[in-house]
Structure 1
Amino acid sequence: MTGERTNGFWDAVDGRAPMPTAARTLGWTLIQASPERGEIEVSFEATDDFLNPAGTVQGGFLTAMLDDTMGPALAATLDPGLYGATLELKVSFLRPAKPGRLVGHGRVVHRGSTIAFLSGELLDASGQVVAVGSATARILGTG
């Protein structure tokens, strides 16, 4: 699926570099990516360790999942030596999320030379949206 693409994102996805610890903790898995369209679909595994006292996934974990959905939507489009740093992140929680698989859809809404605007949503196992988000990211060089 990724061909000969290389950058930190594709290197981790293709096993040429370790997956970031945060992504591993969240159970991040790439389902599909369309860099040409700036879109990505990923999944997460919300474990019992993510639960709040009410027995649902704590909002901070859902926020991290959205960040790890929208950021990779941008990362998949970047040339080697570039990465996106989140400058601003807004999340709206629509309904409680239960432990298990959650699917994230991320999209690059607009990308300039140094700033990108992103959107994302998380869906539960029944396909209902549990949270939506938007982010602004700065495109930076790694060196």
Structure 2
Amino acid sequence: MTHRVGQFRDMIEGRRPAPPAAQLLGWKLLAIDPAVGSIEVEFLATESFLNPAGSVQGGLLGAMLDDTVGPAAMAFLGGDRMAQTLELKVSFMRPARPGRLVGRGRVVHSGREILFLEGELRDSDQRLIATATATARAVAVHSGPQQTKLA
């Protein structure tokens, strides 16, 4: 069994706060199975998430799905590597209204560096709101501030 350590583990065990984006989305862990790379999380869509049509803006739903499949991959990776999203495809089934939304994500397949992920987002009535597929790269976790070089 892989030893589970790192910033993600610290966050889900309450020793570290969630990242600001997760806090904005109202991210809350409901269930997790690191061995198979599955997760269930809750989001709180607020009135400030609404578009002019009165439904939750699609980009925020995409962010919720990214914050579902990414943590599924992070749990699966065990803490010494993190999941860097390479691509995310979102399909919208119906509009979302403010309130509780539940995301379920899982690792479909993992290679040495690349992971394939799936996720779904449902409302409080269990209606399917949106689905996503994603590809992520497993990269080493670095402690300390990161320097980014521009070409």
User: Residues 8-56 of structure 1: CA distance to partner in whole angstroms, max 9, x if unpaired?
Assistant: 2111111222210000000000000011121110000000010000110
- TM-score scaled by length of structure 1: 0.94
Residue 97 of structure 2 is matched in structure 1 by 98
| Alpha-carbon offset, residue 77 of structure 1 | 1.3
Q: Is the 8 A contact 1:7 1:78 kept in 2?
A: no
On the 8 A contact 2:30/2:41 being kept in 1, the answer is yes
Q: In 2, Cα distance between the equivalents of 1:28 and 1:122?
A: 13
Native 8 Å contact 2:9 2:79 kept in 1 = no
Structure 1 runs (4+) deviating above 4 angstroms are none
How many residues align? The count is 140
| SS class of match (2:24) | helix
Distance in 2, Cα, partners of 1:95 & 1:80: 35
Q: TM-score, normalised by structure 2?
A: 0.89
Question: For residues 84 and 37 of structure 1, what CA distance do their matches in structure 2 show?
Answer: 15
For 1:41-76, what per-residue CA distance to the aligned partner results, in whole angstroms no more than 9, with x for missing partners? Answer: 000000001000011000000000000000000101
**Counterpart in 2 of 1:62?**
61
Unaligned runs of 5+ in 2: 143-151
Higher gyration radius (CA): 2
